[in-house]
Amino acid sequence: MDGLVRFGVSLDRKLLAEFDRHIRRKRYTNRSEALRDLIRDNLVGKEWDENKEAVGTITFVYDHHVRDLTGKLTDIQHDYHGQILSGMHVHLDHNHCLEVLVVRGKGAEIKKVADALVSVKGVKHGKLTMTTTGKTLR
């Protein structure tokens, strides 16, 4: 780490006990590492808000028997080919498929792709998970 700085934090005793339980559940080796992750998570969220470049996944489940659904989903993916880096298609059972798309771009662009896909009739559930490219985090 570049220029490690130590500082003190005052917390309510009950809040600290809850934080220590969190640390044990997540198997952190110490409070510092857990606190660094919480800070990074907050900063990553700001990157999406500030419309900086981000990466993420769009995961959705759909019934492939719904009329024209696969064609609509394919058309949308072609419309956003600049943001979609890769995809994986899984047959869950006779009726349902899962798709996972890896996306990259400005936060607002990525949200637009996810919204377009998840809102199509026949998509049963979908979720966008965004993260950082890592370039701005230490």
Query: What is the DSSP secondary-structure string of 43-65?
Result: HHHHHHHTT-EEEEEEEEEEETT
Domain extent listing, the chain: 13-49, 53-132
Q: Which range, 5-14, 50-59, 108-117, 124-133, is most confident? A: 108-117
CATH number assigned to the domain covering 53-132:
3.30.70.1150
pLDDT at 47: 67
The overall average pLDDT reported for the chain is 90
Residue scoring higher pLDDT (43 or 95): 95
pLDDT at 44 over 60: yes
pTM value > 0.85: no
pLDDT at 134: 72
